[in-house]
Amino acid sequence: MVRGWLAAVVLSLLVIAPRPTLAADETGESADRAFIMGLPKAELHVHLEGTMEPELYLEMARRNGIATRYATPEDVRSRLRDANDLSSFIQIYEELVGVMQTERDFHDVALAYFRKARSQGVVHAEVYVDPQLHQARGVSLATLYGGLARAREDASRELGLDARFILSFLRDRPADQAAQVLEESRPWLGSLIIGVGLDNPEVDDFPAKFQAVYARARELGLHLTSHCDVDQPNTVAHHWSVIKLLGVERIDHGLNVLNDPALVEEVRRRKIGLTGAATLFYADIPGRMEYRAGAIARLLDKGLLVTVNSDDPGMKRSLYVGDLMLRVQQTTGMDRAHLAQLARNSFAISWIEPAQRRAYALRLKRYLRQSDLDLAKRPAGVR
């Protein structure tokens, strides 16, 4: 029997959208966009709940009989414009996810994300999910994971996209609650869930709080990551602690590694992945993209294993990973070699088998070779 990931890789070669071909008069920007959207890549920092688009939110509220104060998708987007920092965003996020009630809901949210991601070059995704948010509303793990398992199967069959999930613990909730959900999730570990992470509000000294939970996750054979959100209080200390106390393989966001030269060297030495997210709130925050995109470019120039990810695309202007890579490229002036390295990094720090990693690397190499040939045929002035 063909292994699941191998079947997805093989199928993706068959169902992949045709490589974009550009007319002679197309602009450099459209050429860059076509290159980025076709670029094979992995997405490693995206929250299932945060991929929910306003239209799907309203559809789930309707079919689940849940009263909502929002009549139209634009009403939901208007509410999202109230988010201008981590705390205010999480408040709205936790309000909106309340419509997710049934196995179908979790399936539909996940599959909608997989379809959009695949259209922007994603062939492998490792998706955060927050069971504690749903358990608090009486949703069972069987309901949650059942929907995700079906979506994963559909993504493999329909799209050739390989997907796994990251069990996330909420940093502002008790550690014993995290330990309990970890044990209750054991039937799904390995096949569906391949790692654990930490998200939600960044409380002070949170790594020490979850040290025992992470030790247990390691015993169970799970991979380890954690959020260190951008410009939070005590951010450098938190970065050091998730490395030293939790033993993470990746840091989600991780842009403040740049604040400490010694931290840069430690991350390089340990080959820790940094899953950057140059995202935009609906609220206009001057300089946000420039700051985040610039940090990603600097980390890349330092040889660190940084990537670009979409984080919560359904709640942040519907900008998915390809859209954000294009924004980063336009903001920083990255060339195709930089973009290719971001894609290489995404596979290098994915939690996949060596054979799967080699298959993706070969696929990327072939795409870049063909892109170089296409580029050479274009008229002067069109990249």
- 126 found inside a domain: yes
pLDDT digits (tens, 9 = 90+) for 20-77: 444 434 566 799 999 999 999 999 999 999 999 999 999 999 999 999 999 999 999 9
pLDDT top residue among 376 and 175: 175
CATH of the domain at 347: 3.20.20.140
The share of the chain scoring above pLDDT 90, in percent, equals 89
Q: Which pLDDT does position 29 carry in this prediction? A: 78
Q: How confident is the model over 332-351, as pLDDT tens digits?
A: 999 999 999 999 999 999 99
Give me the mean pLDDT over the 279-298 stretch: 98
248 pLDDT more than 90: yes
pLDDT of 376 reads 78
Total domains, the chain: 1
pLDDT at 377: 79
- What's the rounded Cα separation, in Å, for the pair 308 and 327? 10
The confidence score (pLDDT) of residue 381 equals 58
Mean pLDDT, range 229-234, rounded to an integer: 98
The answer as to whether 19 is a domain residue is no
Give 111-126 pLDDT, tens digit per residue. 999 999 999 999 999 9
What average pLDDT does the segment 240-250 reach?
Answer: 99
User: Residue 1's pLDDT band (boundaries 50, 70, 90)?
Assistant: very low
Does 289 have pLDDT greater than 70?
A: yes
pLDDT over threshold 90, residue 217: yes
Q: Give the mean model confidence (pLDDT) for residues 236-248.
A: 99
Rounded mean pLDDT of 285-313? 99
Confidence grade of residue 378 (pLDDT, cut at 50, 70, 90):
confident
Per-residue pLDDT, averaged over 364-378, amounts to: 89
pLDDT the model gives residue 380: 62
Residue 5 inside a domain? The answer is: no
Q: What are the pLDDT digits (tens) for 141-156?
A: 999 999 999 999 999 9
Phi and psi (nearest 5°) for 173? -110, 165
pLDDT at 291 over 80: yes
Expressed as residue numbers, the domain containing 248 is 28-377
Domain-embedded: residue 7? no
2 pLDDT more than 60 = no
Q: pLDDT at residue 138 above 80?
A: yes
Extract long-range pairs of 148-154: CB within 8 Å, 24+ residues apart: 148/48, 148/106, 148/107, 148/110, 148/192, 149/188, 149/192, 150/103, 150/107, 151/106, 151/107, 151/108, 151/109, 151/110, 151/111, 151/114, 152/110, 152/192, 154/107, 154/111, 154/114
